[in-house]
Structures are given as C-alpha cells and as structure tokens.
Structure 1
C-alpha cells in the first residue's frame, strides 16, 4: 500500500492548509514554503505520483484549474511574471510523490532559479529524438 502523501493528508483535513479552491478532482492550496507571496500548489485529489499515470482528461482538468489559479494570482499579487512548474520523481525535482503544479508568481531577482546544463545537439540528432517519440 502506498503511504499517504502530505497532500493526501491535507485533502483529508488531517493537516491544516490555506485552501484556494477544490472540486471532486483537484485541490489548490498555498504552498507552506512560499517562494513569493501567492505561491499556490494545485494537486490531484487522487494520490498518483507522476503526471504520466493520469488519464488525459485528469491532466486537462489539473492544468485548467492551474490556469484559473494563475489568473487569480496575477490579479491578486500583480507579479512581473509567473512560473508554472510540474515535476516528476526525485530526478525530475519532485519532492512530494503526489502530482501537483506549482503556480509561482515571479519578480526580477527574486532568488528563484531554474538552471540546467544546456546541450546543443545537431539537427540530425534532434530529428532522431523526434522519431523516437513521434505521436
């Protein structure tokens, strides 16, 4: 049996949270570790670790709510920018094994950074990658 995530415990009201929105599929609440004021997490109610385990309709609803939350955060906090971030598994920077999207208001020089080593493969290599995943 999968151990309950902290988000599942929030959904069950076992842990207090500042809830922004909820429906039968998702819940949105303030991130306890605010990077900037207005930092919200939008999580599935169903505990699933990664995005690829969800059905397409579930992903669509998750991101539709994240979009609504982003618009509300923009109106309430007027940030200079916005980062929506969804991560999968520890190697992909996921820290809670429960699908969620960060809605993170951003400001110049706010200290939040997203860095990775850029590689510049040739167009031939890129076409090979594309062939492997072509839908």
Structure 2
C-alpha cells in the first residue's frame, strides 16, 4: 500500500465512525418472517428514530445501514441528494473489497440510484468512484458518489473537476440534511416494496 493512500489510520476514518454509529439492524426475532430476505433488507433502512444525525461529528444523514454497505448524504454536496455509498468495513480501494462486499454493493447501487433520481427529480446522474490520492480520493475508504444532474445546474466555477467531486461545494444544512435523508429512506423503503411485489426478493 502506498503512503499516499494512508491519510490517517482506520480508527480515525470518518466512514468507519459512521459504520460504528449505525450498525446493521437485524429483523425482529418476534417477526414470523424474520428469516426472509425481505425482512433483512427492510431492516437495513434505519427507522427515523434510530437515524439521529448527532451520533457522529460532523453530523451524518444516514440512508442505508446494511451488513456490508452504508449510504449517507455527502455533507459537501455538489447537488441536492448527492449520496455516498461505502463499504462498512475499512477498505481503501476497490481492489481491497471482499466478495460479499462487492455483491452487496452491486445489489444496492442500482436501488440507491433510483432513490436519488426520484428524490432529486432528475433522471441523469453520475456514479463516481476514486481510488488513491492521485485519482482524487479524499477519504481513503471505498465509496461511490451518486450525484444527480438536474436540468438546472448550479453555477460551478471549476467544471473540469465537477465529475470527480471537486469544484464549488457548499456545506449541507443540518435541518435540510435530516429532512432529505428521511425522504430518501422513505423512497428506499418504497423501492424495496416494489422489488418484493415484483417477486424479486
């Protein structure tokens, strides 16, 4: 591993802190269908009373907390509903991901892309993933950006860097972040319900 990849040790990683603050939930043992894949997936979407942004510093606006994957709002979003999708375990680059992490990431990315599209009301979006400091990776923990591209884009000064997560970005307001994350969790539950009804779960 190159020293350029190690900005800080894993125990200081902000994404690992988020993963610790929002552990994967198990379906209720009292539920008659607790062993079904549907119940397990549904339990991966935190309830609003569990999704307290102040569990971490800075605040985290969580959308998904599954066994292997977490998703939360970017606190310096490029556009509204800019979502980060990360491995739960500390993996620096995609090449470091384990099999189950890759499978679960592959399952959640298309579903979360639909959620971002619905909430942002934009059918166009980028999915960006950087590996290493020279590739513009700021946090050395595997994560994908889902960045909506609305018809009316904000004025961005450094257009050449926008796709890679750089450029003009404003800090996410806490109240707006909490409201937006709750809306995205509701949209995610709807997407899972559609999958269940389509007999894909």
Please say whether Structure 1 and Structure 2 have the same fold, judged by a TM-score greater than 0.5.
Answer: yes
Q: Distance in 2 between matches of 1:36 and 1:2?
A: 29
Q: Which residue of 2 aligns with 1:126?
A: none
Structure with the bigger percentage of helix:
2
Verify: 1:12 aligned to 2:55, yes or no: no
Q: Distance in 2 between matches of 1:45 and 1:84?
A: 19
TM-score w.r.t. structure 1 length?
Answer: 0.75
Structure with the bigger percentage of strand:
1
Verify: 1:106 aligned to 2:114, yes or no: no
Unpaired segments ≥5 residues, structure 1: 116-135
Runs of 4+ in 1 over 6 A off after TM superposition: none
Q: Secondary structure at the match of 2:126?
A: strand
Q: Which residue of 2 aligns with 1:22?
A: 65
Unpaired segments ≥5 residues, structure 2: 1-8, 22-55, 165-201
Q: Secondary structure at the match of 1:60?
A: helix
Aligned length: 115
Using a 3 Å threshold, how does the CA distance of structure 1 residues 30 and 114 change in structure 2: closer, same or farther?
Answer: closer
Using a 3 Å threshold, how does the CA distance of structure 1 residues 73 and 2 change in structure 2: closer, same or farther?
Answer: closer
Among 124, 128, 139, the alignment partner of 1:85 is 128
TM-score w.r.t. structure 2 length?
Answer: 0.52
Q: What's the CA shift for 1:80? A: 4.6
Q: What's the CA shift for 1:26? A: 0.8
